[in-house]
């Protein structure tokens, strides 16, 4: 006997929602999924009428579903937003060039303007070239730091008021664990925020409309909507530690499906002891981007790459920042330590 949809009670259910375990028909699932994103946007007051919003588009499932739902909700509820796609080309052969093709197809389908900024034009380095110099172990540090700034630079070129990213509930929950495991209290406090206000010049406010959407439901949505997305993992292997956190979260979800939301609830209700030092935000002396040090992470990494000292940006070498800024030579010992790649 077919199971009936628990929402409309007359159509046949085609899926069991990972989030609530209800059986739903296709239409009711679409409706529920979209409506939840809408409720999130409304409740958190993510946008204002008339804003220009850049959707960070990677061609992956999250950003593809985000672009689709944002376009749909903007029309359904008259948000009055001017939407556009913003992509970063890291310069990874066989990964990013293919996924960018997906983004270009999305652009045509959704009739949204697209801006692509590349690492090569911004930094003079592609990820392929970076990996050649630093190896496979810490390349994600470069990728993450560069992407963050690249999105901001692209957003400024596009003159958008906000960037929305495809971070989903699983990503947020995983980040809560990562920050606990790193003992990073400053990030732990911020990571469950659904939006960031501008932290300074050159930083565009960001928000996560899919914050409460389960990754599994995003995949179900893309599958039943037959959305075109690129599903290959980054070929430069991801951080092992994060992999452990992700597996742990998946295991938790299998024991108790609400776990993902439960972890986010925990993150939203943490309180940090007064007197715990939080990094003071200033700006980078070289490029003006926000930074708690004299040089921003991106400039330090770039300096390391350009001088053939890849370890400069890995670990903490604040003491060397002033030397770099004033272009003083490093000692032989310092050079040697920063050169080796076996980290």
Partner 1 sequence: MCQVDEVYSDHLERAAVPSVSKKCLKCKEAAAAVVIRAGHSYCRGCFREYFIHKFRAMLGKNRIIFPAEKVLLAVSGGPSSCSMLSLVQEGLSQSAHKKLRFLPGIVYIDEGGAISQSMEERQRIVAELQAVFKGTGFPFHIVPLEQVLDLPSSVLVTGPPTSDQPASAYKAAVDHFIQNNSSIFSAPPDQEETSPPSQKETSLPDIQESRVHLLQQLIGSVKTLTAKADLLNILRQHLLVHTARAEGYSKLMLGDSCTRLAVKLLTSVSLGRGAQLPQDTGFSDPRYGDITLMRPMRDYSSKEIAFYNHMFKVPSVFIPSLETKTTDKASIQRLTEGFVTKLQADFPHTVSAIYRTSEKLQTAFRSSSTADSSGRCLFCMCILDTAVESASAFNMTLISEQLSQTKAAGNTKAELQQQSPAEPESSAPAGQCCSSGGGEDCGRAAGGGGCCSTDKATETPNLRSLLCYSCQLTIKDMSSVDHLPLYILSEAQRRQRRSQMREEISEFLLDGEDD
Q: Which of residues 53-92 bind partner 1 (CB under 8 A)?
A: 76-80
Residue 222-261 contact track with Zn ion, rule CB under 5 A, x = bound: ------------x-x-------------------------
Helical spans, DSSP H, in 116-236:
119-123, 127-134, 139-158, 169-182, 185-190, 215-224
> How many whole angstroms separate alpha carbon 319 and alpha carbon 179?
25
Phi, psi at residue 278, to the nearest 5°? -105, 140
Residues 272-311 interacting with partner 1 (rule: CB under 8 A): 272-274, 276, 311
> How many whole angstroms separate alpha carbon 119 and alpha carbon 130?
10
Per partner kind, with CB cut-offs from 5 to 8 A, the member of partner 1, Zn ion, none near residue 223 is none
Q: Is 289 in the site for Zn ion (CB under 5 A)?
A: yes
Among 2, 94, 108, 271, the residue binding partner 1 under the rule CB under 8 A is 271
To partner 1, the closest distance from the beta carbon of 136 in angstroms equals 18
> How many whole angstroms separate alpha carbon 303 and alpha carbon 326?
13
186 is in an annotated binding site: no
Instruction: Specify which residues 114 forms β-bridges with.
Output: 85
Residues 20-79 interacting with Zn ion (rule: CB under 5 A): 25, 28
- Stretch binding partner 1 (CB under 8 A), from 103-111, 122-130, 291-299, 313-321: 313-321
Rama region for 233: left / alpha / beta (φ>0; ψ in -120 to 50; rest): beta
Q: Is 28 in the site for partner 1 (CB under 8 A)?
A: yes
DSSP code, position 5 = P
Among 2, 94, 197, 254, the residue binding partner 1 under the rule CB under 8 A is 254
Q: Is 136 in the site for Zn ion (CB under 5 A)?
A: no
Among 98, 199, 268, 335, the residue binding partner 1 under the rule CB under 8 A is 268
To Zn ion, the closest distance from the beta carbon of 99 in angstroms equals 12
Look-up of token digits 């628990």: 6
Per partner kind, with CB cut-offs from 5 to 8 A, the member of partner 1, Zn ion, none near residue 185 is partner 1
Q: Tell me which long-range contacts 244-252 makes (C-beta under 8 A, separation of at least 24).
A: 245/174, 245/177, 245/178, 245/181, 246/170, 246/174, 248/177, 249/170, 249/173, 249/174, 249/177
- Stretch binding partner 1 (CB under 8 A), from 4-12, 85-93, 132-140, 294-302: 4-12
Q: Are 177 and 267 in contact (CB under 8 A)?
A: no
Q: Are 82 and 53 in contact (CB under 8 A)?
A: yes
Among 12, 35, 97, 199, the residue binding partner 1 under the rule CB under 8 A is 35
- CA 280 vs. chain centroid, Å, equals 23
Instruction: Specify which residues 54 forms β-bridges with.
Output: 84, 163
Q: Which is nearer to partner 1, 1 or 255 (CB)?
A: 255
Instruction: Return binding residues for ATP.
Output: 56-58, 62, 88, 166, 171
């Amino acid at each position: 006997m077919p199971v009936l949809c628990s929402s409309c009670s007359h159509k046949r259910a085609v899926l069991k929602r990972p989030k609530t375990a209800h059986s739903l028909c296709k239409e009711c699932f679409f409706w529920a999924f979209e409506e939840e994103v809408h409720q999130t946007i409304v409740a958190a007051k993510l946008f204002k009428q008339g804003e220009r919003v850049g959707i960070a588009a990677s061609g992956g499932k999250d950003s593809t579903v985000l672009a689709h739902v944002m376009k749909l909700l903007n029309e359904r509820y008259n948000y009055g937003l001017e939407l556009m796609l913003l992509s970063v080309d890291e310069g990874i052969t066989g990964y990013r060039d293919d996924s960018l093709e997906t983004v270009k197809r999305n652009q045509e389908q959704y009739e949204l303007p697209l801006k692509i900024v590349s690492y090569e034009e911004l930094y003079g380095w592609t990820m392929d070239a970076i990996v050649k110099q630093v190896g496979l172990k810490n390349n994600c540090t470069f990728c993450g730091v560069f992407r963050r700034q690249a999105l901001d630079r692209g957003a400024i070129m596009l003159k958008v008021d906000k960037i929305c990213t495809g971070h989903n509930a699983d990503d947020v929950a995983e980040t809560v664990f990562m920050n606990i495991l790193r003992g990073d209290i400053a990030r732990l406090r911020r990571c469950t925020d659904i939006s960031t206000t501008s932290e300074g010049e050159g930083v565009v406010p960001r928000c996560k409309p899919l914050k409460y959407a389960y990754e599994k439901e995003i995949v179900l949505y893309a599958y039943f909507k037959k959305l075109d997305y690129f599903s290959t993992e980054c070929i430069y292997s991801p951080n092992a530690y994060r992999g452990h956190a992700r597996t742990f979260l998946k295991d938790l979800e299998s024991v108790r499906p609400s776990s993902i939301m439960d972890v986010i609830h925990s993150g939203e209700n943490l309180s940090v002891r007064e007197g715990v030092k939080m990094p003071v935000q200033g700006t980078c002396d070289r490029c003006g981007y926000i930074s708690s040090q004299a040089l921003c992470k991106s400039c330090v990494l770039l300096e390391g790459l350009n001088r053939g000292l890849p370890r400069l940006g890995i670990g903490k070498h604040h003491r060397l920042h002033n030397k770099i800024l004033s272009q003083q030579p490093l000692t032989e010992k310092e050079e040697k330590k920063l050169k080796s790649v076996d980290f």
